[in-house]
Structure 1
C-alpha cells in the first residue's frame, strides 16, 4: 500500500532539543529558602523555528543546536552562578538564565532561515520557565 506525500507549502517547523548543567546559586532579596546557597541539575530546552528546509530536508541539524547550547552550558556547569557574569550582577533566577541562554544562542545562531524561538529552563521536575522574544 503506497501513500502519496506532497511537500507542504507554508507553515513552519519547530525543533526542540535540550542540554543540562549542574550549578549552585542563591537568590538575593528572596524571602525564603532560595535565599540560601543551593543547587540544581538544570535542564535547558531550546526551540528553533524555521520555514524552509535545506537540501537534506532539515531546518537545521539537532547536533548544531546542541553543540552551541553545550558551549553556553559549559560556562555555567559546576559553578556558583552568583560569581559568573552576568549573574554576578543579575539575580540568577530561572527567568534570567532562560533569557541569558536565548540571547547567547541567538547572537551566534539565528539566520534568515531559522531562529531561536524559545528557551525553557527547568530547575527541577516540577518548575520551569520559558522565555520567548
Structure 2
C-alpha cells in the first residue's frame, strides 16, 4: 500500500538570476520554504516511508549558501571566500525544486527505500512559489 508523507523545511540562501532583467539580476537572499510530498511504501518493521530528517538534511545542505548559475562570472570571485552551489542555468525556484527533488530521490534510493518525491514546492517569498509534480515512479 502506498503512503504519502509531507515535510516542510526552511533555509536561508542567496542567488541571482544572471539572465533576468530586473532586481533579481543582483545577488540577493531569501528565506526559502521547501514543501515536499513523497509517495512510498512504509517499511514493515518501522512503519516509516522515509525519515523526515533525511529530507531535512538534503535541504539543509543549501542553508546559508550562495547559489549561482555555473556560468556566472561571480562564481570564481566568491569561491575565493565561500563555497558556491552552482546550477546549470539560472538558479530559479523552478530549477531549485528539480535539484532538491533529485537529491531527495537519490537519498531515498541510497537507503533502498520505495519512496520518491511526488510533489515539491519551493517558496522564494511569502507570495510566490514554484511547484513541480512528478509522475509516479
The TM-score by the shorter chain falls in which range? Answer: 0.7 to 0.9
- SS of structure 2 residue aligned to 1:60: coil
CA root-mean-square deviation: 2.1
Larger Rg: 1
Q: 1:15 to 1:36 in 2, by over 3 A?
A: same
How many residues end up aligned between the 2 structures?
A: 118
Q: How much does 1:59 deviate?
A: 2.6
Contact 2:50–2:108 at 8 Å: present in 1 too? no
Q: Distance in 1 between matches of 2:92 and 2:129?
A: 11
Aligned twin of 1:54: 44
1:121 counterpart = 2:111: no
TM-score by length of 2: 0.72
Aligned twin of 2:91: 92
Correspondence list, 1:29-68, <5 A? 29-52=19-42, 54-67=44-57
Runs ≥4 residues deviating over 4 A: none
Q: Distance in 2 between matches of 1:24 and 1:65?
A: 21
Correspondence list, 1:8-27, <5 A? 12-27=2-17
Q: Distance in 2 between matches of 1:62 and 1:50?
A: 13
Contact 2:66–2:85 at 8 Å: present in 1 too? no
More strand by share: 2
Structure 2: segments with no counterpart, 5+ residues? 69-74, 76-83
Q: Distance in 2 between matches of 1:58 and 1:103?
A: 20
Contact 2:50–2:113 at 8 Å: present in 1 too? no
TM-score by length of 1: 0.74
Structure 1: segments with no counterpart, 5+ residues? 1-9
